[in-house]
Amino acid sequence: MQCRFRQHISGSTRLLCAILLLGLLLPLDARVELQPCKNNVPPQQQIALGDKVAQQVYQQMPVLPDTSAETKYIRDLGRKLAAEAPGYKWPYNFHVVNVADINAFALPGGSVFVNLGTVQAASNEAELAAVMAHEISHVVLQHSVCNAEKQKRVGLIAGIGQIAAGVLLGGAGGELAQEVSGLPPGSAF
């Protein structure tokens, strides 16, 4: 299958260049600097985590082969967009999932997956580029890692709450709270 908007490459590329040029013309104090969320996970560890999750995606989802026309197109567009991404230079790679739903997602470290439905629904390259740039921004800002760290904190707080409930409730209620928290019933605190 050929992408139906391949003929619009030069127009959307011009639009992208115009947006970048506008950004260069703004006074320095008018520019917005995007900073990754604060986390303690080094880039190499994020890349390894993303690679591990990407392997699971390949096992669970119908990812098109690297040789497909759609994947080649998405990779070319992704490389252009990633070259303009600020901050750490993640080893981006781009994939197409053979699913009709309109969706895309990014993994830590730079793997970006775009559903075929998204590619087919895009009216032009600029729409597709916007979706992909959004996913690249998740990588740049390290949202996956920070969200995972937030979940750990929430889980820790919930676990502490469950332990406290076990102490306060005692008996069967306390045993249930301890079981939910992962502690064996009757554990000493």
What is the phi/psi pair of residue 54, to 5°? -60, -40
**Residues 96, 123 within the same domain:** yes
Residues 58 and 105 in one domain: yes
Q: Which structural domain, as residue segments, surrounds residue 160?
A: 147-181
112 plus 126 within the same structural domain: yes
Task: Verify that 137 and 151 share a domain, yes or no.
Answer: no
Q: Are residues 128 and 164 in the same domain?
A: no
Q: Between vectors from CA 65 to CA 8 and to CA 112, what angle results, nearest 5°?
A: 65
Q: Work out how many domains the chain is built from and give that number.
A: 2
- The residue out of 126, 141, 156 marking a domain boundary is 141
pLDDT for position 7: 43
Residue 37 lies in a domain: yes
Residues paired with residue 114 on neighbouring β-strands, in sequence order: 96, 104
Q: Quick one: 171 and 134 in the same domain?
A: no
Residue 158's closest CA among 184, 150, 186? 150
155 and 104 in one domain?
A: no
In a domain, 61, yes or no: yes
Pair (78, 15) in one structural domain? yes
- Both 76 and 168 in one domain: the answer is no
Domain for residue 84, yes or no? yes
Residues 130 and 152 in one domain: no
CB 12 within 8 A of CB 129: yes
Tokens 């391949």, located at residue? 6
Residues 167 and 120 grouped into a single domain:
no
The per-residue pLDDT for range 65-124, each reduced to its tens digit, is 999 999 999 999 999 999 999 888 999 999 999 999 999 999 999 999 999 999 999 999
Whether the pLDDT of residue 143 is over 60: the answer is: yes
Greatest alpha-carbon span in the chain: 71
Q: Is residue 127 situated within a structural domain?
A: yes
**pLDDT at residue 141, rounded to an integer:** 87
Is 82 contained in some domain?
Answer: yes
> Does residue 189 fall inside a structural domain?
no
Report if residue 57 sits inside a domain: yes
Q: Indicate if the pLDDT at residue 9 is higher than 60.
A: no
Please report whether residue 1 resides in a domain.
no
Residues 19-74 have pLDDT tens digits of: 554 455 545 444 455 677 677 788 999 899 999 999 999 999 999 999 999 999 99
- Do 135 and 116 lie in one domain? The reply is yes
